[in-house]
Structure 1
Amino acid sequence: MIELRDLTKRYGPKTAVDGLSFTVRPGTVTGFLGPNGAGKSTTMRMVLGLDAPTRGDVRIEGKYYTELKEPLHSIGALLEAKGVHGGRSAYNHLLCLAQSNGIPERRVGEVLEMVGLEGVARKRPKGFSLGMGQRLGIAGALLGDPRILMFDEPVNGLDPEGIHWIRTLMQRLAREGRTVFVSSHLMSEMAQTAEHLVVIGQGKLLADTSMAQFIAENSRTHVRVRTPEPERMRDVLTAEGLRPATGADGALEVDGAEAPRIGELAAAHRLVLHELSTQRASLEEAFMRLTAQSVEYHGHAPGDGDMPAPGQPPGPAGGPAPGTGTGPGEATGPAQGPPGGGQPPPAWGQDWRRRGGGR
């Protein structure tokens, strides 16, 4: 079990983690979600004593990480797949970890076989792909057969077989009664792996709940109804106190009633149904809705309101482009050419290309 109490971390004026309190319990896979910059990696580093909290504390089975005599027996972690000595072989990298924690050498071969790296055990990891590096990091986490496992983005770089393998592994470890704490940006994968979620945004706790409850509380669930007599169906639903909406394709969308009840109403009024289905949001949709105000870095696709239209000069949405505004030192009206008329200066890069730099 991992327990966080009022955990806070500041870097100068920036608060990376802000008063987090939650418990990661054994017997379940707990997903750790949040936008980029939310404080997930910083939180995990504080669990392992790599960063010192500004305030609050975090304990592993009731102890601080620094109090664990042989920590790999209590908690195994993957935070950075490439955090290995590139000059040592994969086998010797794990052997060093094992010897520092009183783990017998035979365990090195066992975990290498478990993660599928026995064939490259004597090779140096500096030549490994990202996926192979992830597998080596997972082997290190499993080395002490710990009661707690913590993974930061463990599926990065893995192929579909590898993703299925790590998902199955985490679920099996949880069924054995271990504590499994995993962060990921892959919502579809998290939806298949985790049973419980902890969600943070801008360092603050936003949710600590089951997967099913999180989706139910942060999304809209409705029943979709298609019938050749939509107006009659609408009248029947309205008479029951429901307020059906019309979807883009003409189907009715009904909130506040379960599909079996709507089917019974249709049958009672001899209405033919072509579709009767419950529409539930995905984890990604629920996550996006909850964290919309906590995203620190926003990207924009062409056509967004604050992006210039094709052929238009860049500038703030609804405002003047650079060189055409009314700020200090700027000209008003259309963009001005060079003094005395003539041709405007070449676009950025054109002069460099003329001199042969673009070859």
Structure 2
Amino acid sequence: MITLDGLTKRYGEKVAVNDLTFAVRPGVVTGFLGPNGAGKSTTMRMILGLDNPSGGAVRIEGKHYSQLKDPLRRVGALLDAKAMHGGRSAFNHLLCLAQSNGIPRARVSEVLDTVGLTAVAKKKAKGFSLGMGQRLGIAGALLGDPEILMFDEPVNGLDPEGIHWIRNLMKSLAAEGRTVFVSSHLMSEMALTADHLVVIGQGRLLADTSMSDFIRQNSRSYVRLRSPQRERLLDVLHEAGVGAVEARDGALEVDGTPPERLGELAASRQVVLHELSPQQASLEEAFMRLTAESVEYHAHSDRPGGAVPAGEPPAWGEGWQRRKGA
């Protein structure tokens, strides 16, 4: 388990990480989310002892990373897939890591096979594609068969097959009771992978909760109804004290009433329904709502004045403008 207690990091007057307190527990995949500049990479670097905190503490199974004996056997991490000697072959890169941590040579071949790089084991890393470099970095994280694994943007550069593979790998590692901590900007992938979420913004903790609770707490849930007997359906809902609003496509949207209850109301008055569907925001929508005030940069839209209407994401490809006060 990884525990952070009031963890803080300052660079001059800039507070990159601000009093973070949370725990990353074994047996689940914990997703680490936040806008660019939120402090995610700095936090992960402090966990691994690569940056020193300005305040607070971070512990791995109760110890600072520097106190761990044979650290690769305790913690495996992928923070930068390019952090390797490009002149070494994939095999020799991993062999150097293994020898420095007392890991048997046979383990190198095992992890190369796990990540699908056996065929290129003797090729120099400098000739690897981004995706191959990611796989080699993941192999390095797995080398010591550690109980704790940390991945920063692990799907970067991977093809669809590779993304599917790393997703299932992280789930299987957590199912074995290991601690898996993963940071990613791909919300759709995080929604399929993570069980628990830690969300930060401008260095502060915004959420520490399960995936389902995060979406429920930060989004609107409602039920869509469509019927050829629309006016009669409205009367039935009104008589039952159920409020409904009209959607742009003519469907009705109902908040606060379970779909089972709505179906029973329609059936009791023989109202035909063409649609009865619960609706809930995606992880991306919930994330954007929670972190709206923590985004350091917003894009201009092509609308007059550059304003982005509430509820709409900023336009990409436009000029960038730093948030006020930044």
TM-score (norm 2): 0.93
Which residue in the other structure is 2:316 paired with? none
Query: Partners in 1 of 2:187 and 2:20 — Cα distance?
Result: 22
- Please name the residue that 1:165 is paired with: 165
What is residue 270 of structure 2 aligned with on the other side?
Answer: 270
- Partner of 1:132 in structure 2? 132
Partners of 1:238 and 1:252 in 2: how far apart?
A: 13
Root-mean-square deviation over aligned CA pairs: 1.2
Which structure is higher in RCO with an 8 Å CA cutoff and minimum separation 6? 2
User: Counterparts of 1:293 and 1:240 in 2: how far apart (Å)?
Assistant: 39
Dislocated runs of 4+, deviation >6 Å: none
How far apart, in 1, do the equivalents of 2:38 and 2:292 lie?
12
CA distance in 2 between counterparts of 1:71 and 1:207 reads 29
Count residues in correspondence: 309
1:304 positional shift: 6.0
Partner Cα distance (2:148, 2:64) in 1 = 14
State the alpha-carbon separation in 2 of the partners of residues 304 and 35 from structure 1. Answer: 26
Kindly report which structure 2 residues correspond to 1:86-97, keeping only aligned pairs within 5 A, or say none.
86-97=86-97
CA–CA distance in 2 between the matches of 1:54 and 1:111? 36
Letter of the 1:122 counterpart: K
Q: TM-score, normalised by structure 1?
A: 0.85
Corresponding letter in the other structure for 2:271: L
The residue type paired with residue 6 of structure 2 is D
Which letter maps to 1:9? K
Over 3 Å counting, the alpha-carbon distance change for 1:305 and 1:238 in structure 2 is farther
CA distance in 2: counterparts of 1:200 and 1:86, whole angstroms: 34
Q: Which one has a bigger Cα radius of gyration? A: 1
Question: After superposition, where does 1:91-240 map in structure 2 within 5 Å?
Answer: 91-240=91-240
Distance in 1 between residues matched to 2:136 and 2:302, nearest whole Å? 40
1:282-306 Cα shifts (integer Å, max 9, x gaps) = 0000000000000001123323632
**Matching of residues 1-359 of structure 1 within 5 Å:** 1-303=1-303, 305-306=305-306
| Deviation string, structure 1 residues 228-255 (Cα, Å, up to 9, x no partner) | 1222211221222221000001100000
Report the 3-state secondary structure (helix = DSSP H, G, I; strand = E; otherwise coil) of the residue aligned with 1:298.
strand
Other structure's SS at 1:248 match:
coil
Distance 2:112 2:303 in 1: 49
Moved more, 206-215 or 229-238: 229-238
Letter in 2 for 1:16: A
1-side partners of 2:130 and 2:154: how far apart? 11
For the residues of structure 2 that align with 1:170 and 1:32, how far apart are their CA atoms? Answer: 14
> How far apart are the structure 1 equivalents of 2:89 and 2:36?
33
Kindly provide the amino acid, as one letter, of the partner of residue 244 in structure 2: P
Q: Which runs of 5+ in 1 are unaligned?
A: 308-313, 317-359
Residues of 1 paired with 2:143 and 2:150: CA distance?
A: 13
Deviation string for 1:72-125 (max 9, x for gaps)?
Answer: 011000000101011111111111110111101100010001000011111111
Counterparts of 1:106 and 1:226 in 2: how far apart (Å)?
Answer: 62
- The one-letter code sitting in structure 2 at the alignment partner of 1:302 is D
Letter in 2 for 1:240: A
- Residue 172 of structure 1 and its aligned partner are, at CA, apart by 0.2
Cα separation, partners in 2 of 1:124 and 1:180, compared to 1, 3 Å: same
Identity, % of aligned pairs? Answer: 72
Q: Which amino acid in 2 is paired with 1:171?
A: K
CA distance in 1: counterparts of 2:123 and 2:212, whole angstroms: 44
SS in 2 for 1:219: coil
